Amino acid sequence: MEKFRFLTAGESHGKGLTAIIEGIPSGFEINPDFINAELKRRQQGYGRGGRMKIETDTVEILSGIRFGKTLGSPVALFIKNKDFENWEKIMSINPQDYTEEKSFSAYRPGHADFAGSVKYNQKDLRNILERSSARQTAIEVAVGTVAKQILNTLGISCSSKILQIGKAANEADFHKEIDTAKESGDTLGGKIEVIFSGLPVGLGSHVHWDRKLDGLVAQAVMSIPAIKAVEIGDNPLGLTGSEYHDEMYLEGEKVVRKTNHAGGIEGGMTNGENLVVKAIMKPIPTLRKPLNTVDSSTMQETQAHFERSDTCAVEACAVVAEARIACVLVNEILLKFGGDSLEEILKNKEHGKSHIDCF
């Protein structure tokens, strides 16, 4: 069920990236400076490639906001690809501009090149790279930052951190791990954690498989390029029930817990504790020391295509994960509290208070 919906469009080296968000009630303050600050966070991080130096992403809000507040109408966002000026002919929409400059045919193992080119019947693998590139996560962060501002207005906030990069599980070792990979032309993945606090009890539902919040969050995070595993709360593997489950106590009339192994979701619903989501990112598939592969035009074995690429993007990935989860949570807030304006949502939230004081 989707109340907060969005679609994005745009190629990595095209004119820019676009999104249209539908379903935002009126009256929410949206500040483009906050979106730009989050776009900057996505571009930073040790181990990023050269592109981050030429692009400083800036959002343009095309509709849906007047004098700083949402109108209830669709919000359209645009991020210009500053590199487009170097790619104008190569990415032209006009058939008379046809060129094979920047075309490539040596599949990159781990990327979308092989399956995408078979599926869409494309000989030039650039036609797959341009959309499968994680460049599209820039506009997803912009959309997610609109969602974050809605959540912030309702007292919900988020943070994230890096748990592991390559084999390094301590912050002090992260840069060294990335330097070593970079020197040998290799790449790294890692593990991140995102935490949302201030969530009401009862977002999501136990009544249908497709309304369970853990499933919805997992899908949103798994859809981020290179994410291969999502955990809610602590890994329960090997733990006993008494070790894992979060026992309940009373503090006056308030139900409280001393632990949060469940990561804030029980039965597919928020339980009033912090939502804790962990995700594992695989190593970046484009390597400077290329992997063995096949060339689709010659059908000979060869070395994979290389172009400017990150050594490690785990830090950026955490920002993207915050954004993706924020969209899921806004949708659930709108499903639970309804309303076409901020005032209506606040009223519904107040009226909807449960008989149990749980936060």
Q: Which of 309, 333, 337, 345 is the binder for ligand FMN (CB under 6 A)? A: 309
Residue type for 162, please? I
Q: Which is nearer to ligand FMN, 112 or 216 (CB)?
A: 112
Task: Return the sign of the alpha-carbon dihedral for residues 251, 255, 261, 263.
Answer: negative
Q: Segment near ligand FMN (CB under 6 A), from 59-67, 69-77, 127-135, 343-351?
A: 127-135
| 241-300: contacts with ligand FMN (CB under 6 A) | 282, 284-286
Task: In whole angstroms, give the CA distance from residue 102 to residue 111.
Answer: 17
**3-state SS assignment for residue 87:** coil
- Binding residues for ligand FMN, rule CB under 6 A, total 21
Q: Which of 59, 150, 317, 328 is the binder for ligand FMN (CB under 6 A)? A: 317
| 318-337: contacts with ligand FMN (CB under 6 A) | 320
Question: Tokens 């790294």 label which residue?
Answer: 188
Q: Which of 220, 224, 304, 345 is the binder for ligand FMN (CB under 6 A)? A: 224
**CB-based contacts of 96, cutoff 8 Å, min separation 6:** none
| 4-43: contacts with ligand FMN (CB under 6 A) | none
Verify binding: residue 189, ligand FMN, rule CB under 6 A. Answer: no
CB of 225 vs ligand FMN, minimal distance in Å: 3
Q: Which is nearer to ligand FMN, 221 or 333 (CB)?
A: 221
Q: Which is nearer to ligand FMN, 189 or 272 (CB)?
A: 189
Verify binding: residue 132, ligand FMN, rule CB under 6 A. Answer: yes
**In DSSP terms, which residues pair with 293 in a beta bridge?**
302
**3-state SS assignment for residue 280:** strand
Cα-Cα-Cα-Cα dihedral of 167, 135, 68, 26, to 10°?
A: -90
CB of 76 vs ligand FMN, minimal distance in Å: 23
Verify binding: residue 117, ligand FMN, rule CB under 6 A. Answer: no
From the CA atom positions of the chain, what is the Rg in Å? Answer: 22
Q: What is the DSSP string of 136-192?
A: GHHHHHHHHHHHHHHHHHTT-EEEEEEEEETTB-SHHHHHHHHHHHHHTT----EEE
**In DSSP terms, which residues pair with 190 in a beta bridge?**
165, 281
Q: Segment near ligand FMN (CB under 6 A), from 194-202, 292-300, 314-322, 331-339?
A: 314-322
Q: Segment near ligand FMN (CB under 6 A), from 66-74, 132-140, 212-220, 336-344?
A: 132-140
Q: Which is nearer to ligand FMN, 109 or 198 (CB)?
A: 109
Verify binding: residue 105, ligand FMN, rule CB under 6 A. Answer: no
**In DSSP terms, which residues pair with 278 in a beta bridge?**
193, 231
Q: Segment near ligand FMN (CB under 6 A), from 58-66, 209-217, 220-228, 351-359?
A: 220-228
Q: Where are the beta strands (DSSP E) in the chain?
A: 5-9, 16-22, 59-63, 65-66, 69-70, 75-80, 157-165, 190-197, 227-232, 248-251, 254-257, 265-266, 269-270, 275-281, 292-294, 301-303
Verify binding: residue 142, ligand FMN, rule CB under 6 A. Answer: no
CB of 132 vs ligand FMN, minimal distance in Å: 5
Is residue 102 within 8 A of residue 90, CB to CB? The reply is yes
Contact positions vs ligand FMN (CB under 6 A): 49, 110-112, 132-134, 137, 224-226, 282, 284-286, 309-310, 313, 316-317, 320
